[in-house]
A = this chain, B = another copy of it.
Amino acid sequence: MAEAKREVSLVLAKLKEEATPEKIEEAITEYAKLVNVIPAMNSFHWGKDDSAKVNLHLHEGYTHIFESSFDNIEGVKEYEDHPDHAVFEKLLLSCTEKLLVITYQPTIVNLQK
């Protein structure tokens, strides 16, 4: 079965140690709200790094993962250029020590010949 094409934007963040739980929760909530105000943004998920639970230490210090999905790369552009994204970005950066942003089109490998 063919999957619908989509473009995923991944943000890996190392949050500042001094960022309070309230500030972190605010940043995540504001991030999630973008789904409602930016039409191109289809979904938003987040999670904390679980590497320690599997004894892996290849996470380069990143503590939080944010995943947004779009129909295509044009949607990611629309999102990046949206004024509400700029406002949110300031908030996220205020509690972030380092950030990695990468976008890709998730593709399944068809193993059948």
The answer to whether B59 touches A29, judged by C-beta atoms less than 8 angstroms apart, is no
Interface residues of A in 82-113 (CB under 8 A from B): 99-109, 111
Nearest CB on B from A80, distance (A):
6
Query: Nearest chain-B residue to A56 (Cβ)?
Result: B101
Known: A10-B10, A65-B10, A80-B56. Contact between A51 and B102, CB under 8 A? yes
CB within 8 Å for A32 and B100 given contacts A10-B10, A45-B106, A106-B45:
no
Main secondary structure of the interface of A (DSSP, over half): mixed
Residue total for A at the interface (Cβ-Cβ under 8 A): 44
Which of A7, A56, A58, A102 has the largest number of chain B CB atoms within 10 A?
A: A102
Q: Is the CB of B46 within 8 A of A106?
A: yes
Tell me whether A49 and B106 are in contact (CB under 8 A).
no
Say yes or no for A48: interface residue by CB 8 A criterion.
yes
